[in-house]
Amino acid sequence: MIYQQSRTSAVGEMIGNIAHQWRQPLSVISTVATGLKLNLDLDDSLDRKSMSTSLEKINKHTQHLSTTIDDFRSFFKDNLNTVEKTNLKNTIKRVRELTIDSFNSNFIEYTEDIEDIEHSYNENILIQALLNLFNNSKDALCEKSYDRYFNISIKKDKKVIVLRVKDNGGGIKEELIEKIFEPYFTTKHESVGTGIGLYMTNQIITKQIHGKISVHNIKLKYKNKSYNGVEFIITIPIIEDDSY
């Protein structure tokens, strides 16, 4: 039941992300199409080069919309048992594509430091786990009036892959930090948070990816200013034959 509720919650977040992803391309298509119509109404001898450029713009943005739908559709496939060797850079790229517009619209500076690492895992469920972390940071940061910062790093350390996600969103109250992976626990208003996202991230990392996840408050510097923030650390064991 909790997993199904998590998927339902994720659907709502995905719809919001689709809205962000589609708004700008649709605006461009509408503007270009309106401009073409206006030029045709005013001058029926519109030059072919200008028309070709405009149509190329429309086609480019239409292809972007189509790609976005494919990304979201593949994300919701329930092939939980499919494990393939995948480059973590590509996985983070997909997560970034799904969240870039919501980050930009909230003026969050995104940075990354990702080593070129291949590992065997189910990409869709890892994406879901990371999306929960990305959206958790976004929700915390969008409430802040100062410069907003988010960073993800992935490095290989001996026999583990270490993934760190941090932001300058103010951190978590110490008396609450031990509870954030519990089901239905949330620090957000009930209209915003369900308390399922981080619980599911913990379940995915520990049960599906066979790793560990922890969280702690940090102090970080951004643009020569000190901030309170939070850092999630995911460790994934590297098995020699890449099997579980």
pLDDT digits (tens, 9 = 90+) for 77-123: 556 667 889 999 999 998 888 788 778 888 999 999 999 999 999 88
3-class DSSP string for 56-119: HHHHHHHHHHHHHHHHHHHHCCCCCCCCEEEEHHHHHHHHHHHHHHHHHHCCEEEEEEECCCEE
Place of tokens 């619209």: 105
- Hey, what are 237's tokens? 């064991």
Domains of the chain are 1-75 (1.10.287.130), 86-237 (3.30.565.10)
Higher pLDDT, 208 or 23: 208
Tally Cβ neighbours within 10 Å of residue 7.
14
DSSP bridge pairs for 155: 162
Of 127, 18, 22, 136, give the one whose Cα is nearest residue 76.
127
pTM for the complete prediction?
A: 0.68
The mean pLDDT of the chain is: 80
pLDDT of residue 36: 80
Higher pLDDT, residue 10 or 128: 128
The model's confidence at residue 190, banded by pLDDT at 50, 70 and 90, is: very low
Bridge partners for 228 per DSSP: 219
